[in-house]
Structure 1
Amino acid sequence: MKNLFYLVAFALPLTGLAQYTDVINSNRPGLSVSAYAVGTNVIQMEAGLFYEQSDHELLNTESDIWGTDISLRYGLLFEQLELNYEGSYQNQNISLIGTDVSENLTDFSRNRIGLKYLIYDRYKSEERSKPNLYSWRANNVFQLKNLIPSVSIYGGATFNMGDNPFYVGDPAVSYRGMVATQSKLTPRFVLITNIAYDRISTDFPELSYLVSLSHAFGNPKWSAFLENQGIQSDRYSDVLLRGGVAHLLTDDLQVDLNLGASFKNTPTRIFVTAGASYRFDLHVDKIKAIDEQSADANGGAIKKNAMKKKDRKENKE
C-alpha cells in the first residue's frame, strides 16, 4: 500500500540482515504498512492533506471533508523493531440535502501508537538474496515461490481525545493488532498485505484488510500502486479502492498523490490525497562501525609500534 517508495521494496533483498536502506522507505501513498522497519536511529515523518466528498443515500446527506494525516516512525533498539504514531485529524461538514440544516464535526478519525516487529525476513539468507547468474528468467519473471512473504506483527493502542463525534461512546483507550506481509513478486512488482483488528475492547471492534500492489517504472524515481481496503464493523463497513503515484526527489524525500472511491452509496465516497515523506537519517551501520573501530584500533597499534621503534633507535644512538 502504505506504500513506501516502492523502489525501496525492490532494494530490500539486497540489504541482508539490515532493515535500513539507502533510499527512504515510506508507507505512502495509501494506507498499507510494509513489513520492514525504517532502520535503527532513523526518524521519519510521512504527512499529507486530503479532501473527500461523501454522500449518504439513505440519510439524504452530503459531506465535505478536509483533513491532514501524519505518521511518525522511529527505528528503535534494533533493525527489526519500529515505533510509530499514526494520526488523522479532519473537519466534516454534513448537510441535509434540500434544507439549510447542517452540522460540523471536528476531531481525530485516527489516533494511535504502536510497535511493529519483523518476525520473518524472507531475504535474510545471503544465498536467497543473490541473483541467479545463469537465468534471466529466474530473476525477472514471477514464480510461485516469490509469493512467500516477509512477515511482521504489530501491537498498539488507539486513543480518543475527549468526546470524539466520530466514535461516540468509545473508551479513551482501545487496542489494535495487525499482521503485515511483503512479497517481491518480480524486480518491479511488490505485494503488501495487512490484516488488522482495531478498537478491541469497544462495543464496535473493527476488522479490516489491505492489499496493495506496487510497480516501479523504468525510471526508478517513479512508482505507482493500486490498493484495495475492506472494513467490517457494526459501526461502519465498506470496500475501498485507491491508486496513485510516488516520486523520489532525493534519497530522503518523496512526494505522492493518490485518488480513491468506495463501492457503495451508504455512503458514496470519493477522495484525493497529496503528501510527502522525509527522513532524518541518523543510522550507523553496525558492520561499518565495527570496521571503523577496528581500523582505529589497528591504527593506534601501528602508531604505538612506530613510537617504540623510534625510542629504541634513539636509545642506541
Structure 2
Amino acid sequence: MLKIKNFLIACLFLFPQYFFAQHTDLINSNRPGETMSAFSVGKSVIQAEVGFYGINENHNTQDYEATGFGTDFTLRWGLFHEQLEFIADIEYQNEKFTTPATTFRKSNFRQTVLGAKYLIYDPFKRYNKDINIYSYNANKKFSWRQLIPAVSIFAGANFVFKDNPYAYNTNTLNYYSDGFKIAPKIMLITQNHFGDGRWVLVTNILADYISSDNPGYGYILTLTRGFNSKWSGFLENQGYKSDLYSDAIVRGGAAYLLSRNVQIDASVSKNLKNSPSILYGGIGFSIRYDDNHKNKLVNYGKAIKKKSKKNKNKDKNKIKEPTEEEIIDYQEKERERKAKYE
C-alpha cells in the first residue's frame, strides 16, 4: 500500500509538467484525418505528414467517370513559442476523365495553403488534478472539466494559380480559374480529451477563400480512440458549402506507431451525394524531428540536459542519457502501473 501511495503522490507533481508543454513524448499527427489538432508540435520541432491516395469518381448529371491518384504533404514547424506552429499544406491530384464524347486528363494542385496556428486556451495549463491515493476507480471517473476544450485559431492563405481545374474546391467538369489569386483562410479549432485520454474529439470550423468570388464554409468533426500504445482508430465527418460545390464526407481509418517519431496510417473516405459520387482510399506516414526541443519529457517528466564539452570528462562515471528505446510515453506507463494495483 505504501508503494501505491508514493507513486500516486509523485503523479501530483508530474501531471502539471506533462500538460504544460505542447511537445509530447510520442508523435502527435493530424493524419489520417483531415482535422487540424489544437496543439502544436512544440518549439523547435519539425514534423512532416505525407499521404498517397487513389480516387474513383462518378457524376450522374454531368455523365462522366474519373479515376486517378493524388498526394498531400503537410509541413508543421514549431517556432518562437510552444503554442505557435507554422504550417504548409499542399495537395496535388491527377485524374483521367471519361465522357460519352471524349477522354481527357486533369492535373494540378488541389490545395496550396500557408499559415500559422496558435493555442489561445489550454484547459490543462496551471491545473493540478486531484488524485485519490486510496481509490484507483475514483481517479478514472468522469470529470466535467473534460467538457472544456483546448482552443486554437488558424490563419493563412490559399494560393490559387491560373487555369487550375481544382480551384475553390470545385468539382465542375469544365471549370478553370481565371488567374492567380491569394485568398485568406481562417479556422477555429477545439480539442477535448475524454476518459483516461484515449478518446479525443477535435472540431474545426472554417471559412475558406475569403474575399474571393467563391468563398466556402465548412466543418470537420473527428473522434479518435487509442486502443493501445501502438494502434489508434478514427471516425470523421466533414461538411463543406460554397456556390461552386457542396458536399458531406465520412471517413474512417487507423494509425500505427512504428517508433516515438514515426507513424503510418490508412484510411477510406466516401461522400454522401452522387453529383459526383466520390470514393477515396489512401495510406500515409508522419515523421518528426525533435532533437532541438529543450523540454523533451524523459523518464516521467525529467528534461534531458545536454552536457557541455568542459564537463564531459567529469561525467564519464555518471549515468548516460537514455536511448530512444528508453524514452517512454508517460500516460501509457502510468496506466500500466496503476492497472497492477487495480
Aligned to 2:330: none
CA displacement 1:133-187 (0-9 Å, x = unmatched):
4554554344443121000001001102332122223642111000111100112
Distance 1:54 1:81, change over 3 A: same
The AA in structure 1 aligned to 2:28 is N
Q: Distance in 1 between matches of 2:232 and 2:304?
A: 35
Q: Distance in 1 between matches of 2:223 and 2:205?
A: 15
Q: Distance in 2 between matches of 1:122 and 1:134?
A: 26
Q: Distance in 2 between matches of 1:223 and 1:290?
A: 27
Distance 1:269 1:134, change over 3 A: farther
Distance 1:282 1:102, change over 3 A: same
Distance 1:138 1:154, change over 3 A: farther
Aligned to 1:173: 182
8 Å CA contact 2:23–2:295 kept in 1: the answer is no
The AA in structure 1 aligned to 2:154 is Y
Gaps of 5+ in 1: 1-10, 300-317
Q: Distance in 2 between matches of 1:287 and 1:72?
A: 21
Q: Distance in 1 between matches of 2:206 and 2:135?
A: 39
Aligned to 2:50: 47
CA displacement 1:37-64 (0-9 Å, x = unmatched):
0011111110010111111111111111
Gaps of 5+ in 2: 1-13, 168-176, 312-342
Instruction: Please give the residue correspondences for 1:1-317 in structure 2 after superposition, counting only pairs within 5 Å.
Output: 15-96=18-99, 99-128=100-129, 131-167=131-167, 168-169=177-178, 171-187=180-196, 188-217=198-227, 219-285=228-294
Q: Distance in 1 between matches of 2:122 and 2:31?
A: 21
Larger Rg: 1
TM-score (norm 1): 0.82
The AA in structure 1 aligned to 2:205 is I
Q: Distance in 2 between matches of 1:156 and 1:213?
A: 25
The AA in structure 2 aligned to 1:157 is A
Shift of 1:131: 4.6
SS of the equivalent of 2:146 reads helix
The AA in structure 1 aligned to 2:157 is A
Shift of 1:126: 3.8
Q: Distance in 2 between matches of 1:164 and 1:265?
A: 23
Q: Distance in 2 between matches of 1:12 and 1:291?
A: 18
Please, which moves more after superposition, 113-122 or 280-289? 280-289
8 Å CA contact 1:175–1:201 kept in 2: the answer is yes
Q: Distance in 2 between matches of 1:63 and 1:134?
A: 62
TM-score (norm 2): 0.77
Aligned to 2:172: none
The alignment covers a number of residue pairs equal to: 283
CA displacement 1:66-89 (0-9 Å, x = unmatched):
110000010011100000100110
Q: Distance in 1 between matches of 2:98 and 2:290?
A: 46
8 Å CA contact 1:58–1:266 kept in 2: the answer is yes
Q: Let me know the Cα RMSD of the aligned residues.
A: 2.6
